[in-house]
Structure 1
């Protein structure tokens, strides 16, 4: 049995589907049963509860031998301790590539701390460090639907955004196969993009003119300067220096990572 935390999120949904397609038994954790509608009919065991509650935490690991967990899910020490008590044999932990590129930032330090907790637990684990998710662009959806002009304080820096489905595909391999234990995978998409590049892609897919404008809000720009790692997702713009395009996804999966165009085409309805 594979326990998937964050099962109804942008990455978790892909992972649950991929694991089921591979024939694995999956228990999906969610705090909101309505978000997991359809999973049970696909043969997924849905566990509704909060991983910060000790009683639920111990109960949900019954019969589990592999775990997928995220940086922001529950208390890492408590989750991994429960996994160890249950005899879990394999863990996949998703943190952030900021552990490498901005290790002294808030997210970088949180990532490194969480990774250390897993190492200290003694559990055989694989760390996935993705860069910015393509889904961060969903922060623009209201503006695109409302008028077609996306206004943000800055256009930020080029970013090799990654489709969460690719992160899920690597997680599935690490959960189902041997040979990934002890590895740390730094993950990016196939091309560095600015917001203007993404706007051009969305314009072509939606069939209407869209525009990106910098409003230069001084208060927001100062917030960006002080905590670029904490505000990037909310703006849908990356304000941190790119790690460059990395080959890890292709090396592990044997195929190129999905492009931003592919992600946008699959999620076009969110912008309509």
Structure 2
């Protein structure tokens, strides 16, 4: 049987595909652009047309599938958008669904991940929730513009600390649980980096390794939200969810450091300095 990977072109999903392939699993990379997926994986895995908002794509994507990596696309803000696919998983007798959730989500009902977790659990499908801390890739993604153009980390995290994790490490952890479903079913793992750091420390690492003076802007939540909407042109729902996550971060929800990654993979997670060194060219102006 095969493993279906949703979000397979993303920062985590592509690593899930590659790590599962390395483990000898048959993988189906799912997405809306199968031509792009075929090129990305160089024909090394099967690809399937899939769209959460088009239920007619479910059956073909789930053919001969017994395990699923489930990731909510960022543009789908309502958990209800994912529910029809979860119901379809039950109909197809899936052995295990590994859902990419969020660190601390079990105590935070605001982001959509909380209700998606509850829906999966209520369905009776064997599950593993992968709950990572904030991705290091947020620095090279959402927050890169301000670093490149203003030499500033513009994140409303206050004085709080965050145990940043590399997306490749999250992908490796997800692959590990999907490879051994019976061992991990009906559990949750919180995947973090090796240390909790505040964004003053992150700015110092960036400064030391890029050779530029990069500072931590530390905007307030409302200033950040308004900036995202009015200056960056981000969707209001996306800006609201992001602001809510950083509000929770200010309360200390993202600072825990766990050994779950090591227990799943036998490896130590990457440090933030490792990540910056691997992406130095990305930070150039």
TM over 0.5: yes
Normalised TM-score (structure 1): 0.84
Task: Within 5 Å, give how 1:28-107 maps onto structure 2.
Answer: 28-33=29-34, 35-36=36-37, 38-72=39-73, 75-100=81-106, 102-104=107-109, 106-107=110-111
- Post-superposition offset of 1:270: 2.1
2:258 to 246, 256, 268: 246
Is contact 1:65–1:89 with CA below 8 Å preserved after alignment? yes
SS of residue in 2 equivalent to 1:56: helix
Structure 2 residue aligned with 1:173: 176
Is contact 1:40–1:46 with CA below 8 Å preserved after alignment? no
State the alpha-carbon separation in 1 of the partners of residues 133 and 226 from structure 2.
23
| Structure 2 gap ranges (5+) | 228-237
Task: Assess, with a 3 A threshold, how the Cα gap between structure 1 residues 219 and 210 changes in structure 2: closer, same or farther.
Answer: closer
- Post-superposition offset of 1:169: 1.1
Q: Which digits, 9 at most, give the CA deviation of each residue in 1:59-113, with x for residues without a partner?
A: 211111110002447833321222222232221112112323x424x11xx3332
- Post-superposition offset of 1:144: 2.5
Aligned residues: 265
Moved over 6 A (4+): none
Is contact 1:97–1:131 with CA below 8 Å preserved after alignment? yes
Structure 2 residue aligned with 1:190: 194
Is contact 2:158–2:220 with CA below 8 Å preserved after alignment? no
Task: Assess, with a 3 A threshold, how the Cα gap between structure 1 residues 135 and 123 changes in structure 2: closer, same or farther.
Answer: same
Task: Within 5 Å, give how 1:136-155 maps onto structure 2.
Answer: 136-138=138-140, 139-151=142-154, 155=158
SS of residue in 1 equivalent to 2:64: coil
- RMSD over equivalenced CA pairs, Å: 3.1
Structure 2 residue aligned with 1:130: 132
Q: Which digits, 9 at most, give the CA deviation of each residue in 1:27-86, with x for residues without a partner?
A: 111223465353342411222331221110122111111100024478333212222222
Structure 1 residue aligned with 2:233: none
State the alpha-carbon separation in 2 of the partners of residues 42 and 252 from structure 1.
28
State the alpha-carbon separation in 2 of the partners of residues 251 and 184 from structure 1.
13
| Structure 1 gap ranges (5+) | none
State the alpha-carbon separation in 2 of the partners of residues 127 and 151 from structure 1.
30
SS of residue in 1 equivalent to 2:197: coil
- Post-superposition offset of 1:162: 1.2
State the alpha-carbon separation in 2 of the partners of residues 62 and 259 from structure 1.
39
1:264 to 254, 273, 276: 276
Structure 2 residue aligned with 1:115: 117
State the alpha-carbon separation in 2 of the partners of residues 216 and 70 from structure 1.
29
State the alpha-carbon separation in 1 of the partners of residues 171 and 91 from structure 2.
26
